[in-house]
Structures are given as C-alpha cells and as structure tokens.
Chain A
Amino acid sequence: MTLQHDAVAGRPAAVRPDLHALVRDDRVHRTLYTDQEIFAEEMVKIFGGRSWVYLAHESQLPEPNSFLSVRMGLRPVIVTRDRAGVLHAVFNRCSHRGATLCREQSGVAKSFQCPYHGWTFRNTGELVGTPWPQGYGEDFDRTEFGLHKVSRVESYRGFVFATLNESAPALTDWLGPATGWLDYWIDRAPGGEVLVRSGVHRMGYRGNWKLAYDNAGDGYHPAFSHRSLLEMASRMGESKDMAYFGRSPDEGPMRTYMLGNGHSVIDQRPNYDGPGSFWANQRPQPGRERVEEYIRAEYGADADRLLDLCVGSQINLSIFPNLLIIGNQIQVVEPLAVDSTQLSWHATSIGGVPPEINTIRMRTQEDFPAFGEPDDQANFEEVQRGLAAPEAEWVFANRGLNVPGWQEVGPDGVVSSTATDELHMRHYYATWLDLMTSGGAR
C-alpha cells in the first residue's frame, strides 16, 4: 500500500496508521520512534497487555513478604512475595482513588496502607479494611475492591516475568531457545546462584526505548560507536576486550542467533580460547594484579575458572521487549516517554566464589557503564534528534538481507548469521508488529 507522506505528522487524530506499512522487510518508519500514540499503544500491548515482560530477579525479593517497586510499561507495579514465598504482582495504585500505595523502592511488608485515605491491602492484593467502613453502607463487598492483580507471574530460574494476557503462551514457550542461553549465563555462577543486590546504574537517555533494543543485538556499531573505549584500552600497548569488533567482524567467528519472539543473542565466545582467556582479555580493573596473584596462589589449577568469573559472559542476550543480558549485568529497558528511556544496569554478584572474585566483578561492571555505554546513549540521542526530520522517513535494517551465505538455519531451527547482520531488528520487528496488530498469543 502507499504510505502517505509522513502519515503521522499530518494525520487527523482519528486515523490510525497502518502499522503493516510502517514495518517493511528492510526498513521501519521513523514514527515508530517518535509518535506518541504508537508509544502509548506499545506501553499497553508490548509491555504486558499481550507480551510477557521482565519484572525482577528473585534475589531482589529475598524473604517472605519482600516487595519491590517496578514498572510494567508505564504501570506502577509492586512485585511481592507472600508469607509462603509465592510471587505476586499488583498495580501500585489504590483501588479507591488511584494514589500509589508503596513509595519505597524495596523492603518487607505484609500489607500496604494507602497514605491518602488509609485503605489497607494485603501484599497479595486483597482489601483488608477501610477506615470507618460504615460510610460505605451494608452492601459494600471488600472482595470487589482489591488491588488490580497482574494475572500471570512466572519465574524462570530466578528471572521473574509477568503478563496481563490470560492467553499468552507459557513463559518457557515464550522464551523458547532463549532458555538455553539464559542457562549458560546462570550456570556460570557456581550452583547457579546469582544475586542482584550489588547496585544499579540507572542510565537515562533522551530517545525511544527501541533504540536500546536495536543496539543490544547490533554487532556492527562497536568499531565506531566504541572507538573511544577501544582507543583507551590500547593506552598501554595491547588491545583488550572488544578489539575483535574492530577487525573485520564479518570474517570473524562471532555469530548472532534468532531465538524467536523477538529474542536474539550475539555470541562473542568464539573470540576466546579456553580457560583464563576471558580474564586475560579484560581491560584492567582496580586491584587486578593483586587479586590475580592471590587467586593463582590459593587456587592453583582452578584459578583460571575463578578469574574468568570476574569478567562478563561474552554473550549479549536480548529478551524482548525489556531484558538485556550484557556481560555480567542484567539490563532492564524502562520506557518513560516516546523520547525518554531509563536503562537500569543491575550489577550482579555470585555465590560459591571467594569474596575477592565478587569484588573484582564490581570493578569490571563499572567499566562499560563509564566508558562504553555513554557513547552509545549519545548516539541514541542523536538518532532521536535526526528522526525529527519528517521527510526522511525510514530507518534501515537491511544489512545482511539477501546477502548470499550469511544466514544459516541450525539443526534446532534457529537462524544465525554473522554478528553485523541487522537480522535481529528484522526479527524483533516481526514480533512487534504481531503484538501490536493481532492477539500476540501464540
């Protein structure tokens, strides 16, 4: 069909653009990043109305009656554990007049009392009481006034997801082959014990949330967007982590894999060879020489394994729409407005290792948020500025499209390609379009 010249800027309020015309095989329309109404619709459908979304990690809710304030799109949500340890998610919105009930980031509470008129709710959502109930008459039924519950909350090995869609597939079906990559990431920690209580870099940029998602699976940008980091890393002579992105990445062994439902992963591990290689290639952290000497002296043959755990996983796993696993960090995409996004980088520590290993993990996890990510986010903001030009309508995602020999189908049906293929964008936009236009439940 013919797309009217900037359908959005000039359209009457009642006419909704045909999203099928805005998502094409090789490109997407700029308005997907700039239009308020599309954004409002995404926040309902993509962020919970139809899709699963990541809410929290179970280690952030360590005991019975723990709670955590999060967002599900723009909805304020409290994730809770009840006294038996079962996870729930309720809207952080008093069922009476709408005020948020919980104004703390996290803590322990059996119930929440609204600071406005004192309605009190159990941490599972039921209304317990209202001050001076006689004012509601005799037929007031408390069971009708509980908090709005997020109908489905499921956890995959500590990663808590939720949806308001009763007919969404089971979480493990939605994750599909992504579970295997999550398993790899989780099982790097001895006993699979991952703790998400080591601080959060809450980084904001003035751009659309999908710019972060476009970038997370993008093996094309590092040699350019991260030039400052690569240059800094060569200050003392040898190039370090990520230098392989700068050496004709298409000829290297890195691959990107399409995992269905918009999920994808870049596997950087083929750039490394054997135990100790992650550690050897990491840009130097404060305390590096001391801890290496100590760990090698104390742990001998096991030292390489332990030192590698101080360094990132060497996969970038993107779980649509809002969970990015990069290095050792759990990154959550939190849209604030069509042109404003918070990226929360949750640092992780792990069980089953000497404390010195976790301390160096902290120092490693400070490196990229300081010297890498800000350059990306500056570029996201400049994309948002660039997209203000209505006459230049398209954002291209055509690298690798129809290039012979790039995409391969694996024995498990997973399509892979070289890491600079923009296949990951074409892949997730298919899911995006499906969720925005049809039921999205598959």
Chain B
Amino acid sequence: MSTEIPARFADTSSWSYHIGNDYYRELSRQSELLREDWPESTSDELSRATSFLTREARLIDEGRFNDWLELFTDDCLYWVPVTPGGGEPTVEVSHAFDDRRRLTDRVYWLRTGLAFCQIPASRTRRVIGNVETTVDPSTGDLLVRSNVVVHEFRAGVTKAYPGWYGHVLRSSSDGWRIRLKQVNLLDSDQLHENLTLVF
C-alpha cells in the first residue's frame, strides 16, 4: 500500500486505517488479474502453491483458526463476494469482507462458544483442484487460482459448496502469507442457510 499508516493505527488487528480508495483500486486490479487467462504454470511453482493451499485447507478443516489467521498478512483481505465474480465492493455488500481486524473478530467470534449457529460446530472437508499460478507483474506476488468444493456437516445436514478460490500470496521471511483470499461460490447470490462456516 502506498498510504502511510500512522503509528497509532499500525496494529491492523485492532485498527483499519489502511483501507481507503487506493486499497479498493488495488483489490479491483488483483481481482481482475485473477480472472484473466494465464500462461501455463511451472511445475515447481504449481507444486509449492498446491502444497500451501493444502495446508491452509487442513488448518480450516481441523478448526485451527488461530493458526489459519497467522497465514494472513497485516493488510490482508478474506473476501466472499455476494455478486458472482466479485462485483463492485465499494457499492455492494459481500458475505465476508474481512480485513485483518474483522477476520480476527471472526475467529474470536467462532471461539466464543456462544455463537449458536456454530453449536454444534460445522465439520468441514474441502477438496481443491485445477490449480493454476502466475506472478503479478506489478508486485511480484504469486497469484493462485483453484477450484474447490467445501463439504459441510452440521446439525444433521450435509451440504456442499462448490466454487473457486483466488489467492494472492506474498513472500515473507518465513514463507508465503495470504494477502487476498477471494472465495467465489458458484451460487453466491442465491439462498444460503447459515453461511457461517469458514471457506
């Protein structure tokens, strides 16, 4: 982000100064890149990306949400749009538009033991495939696109959520961190019951 964040707002799990017009413009650019045709991935990049997604999936499916949260950058976004493909988040609502603070809230909320919609908690298992990768030419971030089906069992009912993920991964000293995770549900704009599982 080009914006200078004042020191008092530096902790993005408590403050959200960094999300302004420039942030939305950058999101729009990344989201478009995630929908473009890409050249064929190199096998090394592909296998490293697949292994990252697999580990992330396992953390969620095992309910290790604090560990999952650690995968995200300080300026991250966990985004589940309502409008198929993403739409225009400055004028449209999303199922989740979680910056670091709201994502921390979400994990905290899940762990309060008081969210009745998660008592009993969702059991999930997800399958990820059709993984593609490319490098964002303007930032050097790794873009990863994959298809996903999340299977959920809760309160006697099994459901399946098909869709695709777009990940923007930033290199850090101890591996990749998720800058953007865009979750595109096939039927994002349709009726959903209790959409409180983590995608």
Interface residues of A (CB under 8 A from B): 198-206, 225, 227-229, 231-232, 235-236, 284-291, 293-294, 342, 347, 349, 355-356, 358-359, 362-363, 365-366, 369-371, 374-375, 377-379, 381-382
Contacts and interface: CB of A to CB of B under 8 A. Distances in A.
Interface stretch (B108-116, B133-141, B176-184): B108-116
B20 A199 contact: no
Nearest to A373: B117
A143 B177 CA distance: 66
Nearest to B102: A286
A171 B148 CA distance: 48
B189 A202 contact: yes
Interface in B158-199: 189-196
Contacts of B191: 202-204, 342
B82 interface: yes
B96 A370 contact: yes
Given A199-B87, A294-B20, A349-B91, A229 B9 contact: no
Interface residues of B, number: 48
Nearest to B101: A284
A contacts with B: majority SS = helix
Interface stretch (B10-18, B30-38, B56-64): B10-18
Contacts of A198: 91-93
16 contacts: A205-B194, A231-B114, A284-B16, A285-B16, A287-B16, A289-B17, A294-B20, A358-B90, A365-B93, A369-B93, A370-B106, A371-B106, A374-B115, A374-B194, A375-B117, A377-B194
A232 B98 contact: no
Contacts of B109: 228-229, 231-232, 371
B153 interface: no
A197 B168 CA distance: 29
Given A347-B93, A356-B21, 7 more contacts: A200-B82, A200-B189, A202-B189, A232-B108, A289-B16, A375-B115, A375-B117
Contact of A286 (B95, B101, B193): B101
A374 B196 contact: yes
Given A202-B192, A206-B193, A289-B15, A377 B93 contact: no
Interface string B96-137: 111101101110110010111101000000000000000000
A286 B92 contact: no
Contacts of A358: 90-91
Contact of A201 (B21, B95, B116): B95
A381 B155 contact: yes
Given A287-B16, A359-B90, A232 B95 contact: no
A228 B115 contact: yes
A288 B16 contact: yes
A229 B112 CA distance: 9
Contacts of B9: 289
A221 to B, nearest CB: 11
A199 B114 CA distance: 29
Interface string B70-104: 00000000000011000101111111111101101
Contacts of A288: 16
Nearest to B14: A236
B18 A290 contact: yes
Contacts of B17: 289-290, 293
Contact of A235 (B16, B105, B196): B105
Contacts of B3: 290
A195 to B, nearest CB: 9
A199 B91 CA distance: 9
Contacts of B114: 227-228, 231
**Of B104, B109, B117, which is in contact with the most chain A CB atoms at under 10 Å from its CB?**
B117
A54 B54 CA distance: 47
**Of B17, B23, B193, which is in contact with the most chain A CB atoms at under 10 Å from its CB?**
B193
A205 B87 CA distance: 26
B199 to A, nearest CB: 12
